[in-house]
Amino acid sequence: MPVDFEMRGRVALLTLNRPEKMNALDAQMMDQLSEYWRRVRDDNGIWVAIITGVGDRAFCSGRDLLAGAPGSPEYHRARKAQGEVVPPREVHYTPEGIWKPVIGAINGYALAGGFALALACDLRIAADTARLGSMAVKRNLLGGGGQTQRLTRYVPFAKALELLLLGDHISAGECERIGLVNKVVPQPELLTTAFDWAERICKNGPLAVRATKEAAYRGGLDMTFREGMRLEGQFYNAMLETEDVLEGAAAFKERREPVWQGR
């Protein structure tokens, strides 16, 4: 299967597994990713997800240009030739609408569609050998999958345009410098670091973590400041009505680790 899935405690690990194609996206891989993201979203036993790639060469090199996958000129033109109306493309291989934290453990090249997948993660930890970039304009394509929208919000606008318009990939160190990745580590330490971060998140109240992520994305990216403040206030009050907030206070008072129930 092109995507491996395993559980380690409350952490789900998704591993792109097409090393012979530098973990490039084909239709089967995109379908599998969509299925697994739904599982991450709906399974209450999953608190954090990590996504990485097999090997030390590529996280994901983008869409498989020879596979005729969705998003390719061949796929688009075949549908048009059949008389279909082709709507603006919806991307399902990225973790959209999931309020549980997703960590990208970027083990190598993250290019084009793989760059989009990395950008869709909430936290990005990169191996020191990784390189990231859009590459789309080099194929006369638009940087899809959220590349133009996320990148212009995540890094200084001029740097975003530099990456999008030149189409070059940049080093993990440069990505860290401009704030595109959170941390750069030696390749052998990548997954260990990602799981360390995941476990640290899992020690926090899961409902508060999810509400914090949702408030940050919806309020910070989709709303005015005042609208975002109202949303934050609504979520704050919602946390006050949970059982876990009482457990958090009791654990603090009794000087012990909290036992979260997610309710």
Report the chain's mean pLDDT, rounded to a whole number: 92
Q: What is the pLDDT of residues 130-159, one digit of tens each?
A: 999 999 999 899 889 999 999 999 999 999
Which residues of the chain register pLDDT less than 70?
Answer: 65-90
- Report helix, strand or coil for 84: coil
Task: Name the architecture of domain 3-202.
Answer: Alpha-Beta Complex (3.90)
* DSSP element (H, E) containing 192: helix 190-202
Q: Is 171 exposed, middle or buried (0-12, 13-18, 19+ CB in 10 A)?
A: middle
pTM value is 0.90
Q: What is the pLDDT of residues 109-128, one digit of tens each?
A: 999 999 999 999 999 999 99
pLDDT of residue 91: 72
pLDDT of residue 17: 96
pLDDT of residue 75: 63
Q: Report in angstroms the alpha-carbon separations of 75 from 70, 82, 196.
A: 6, 11, 41
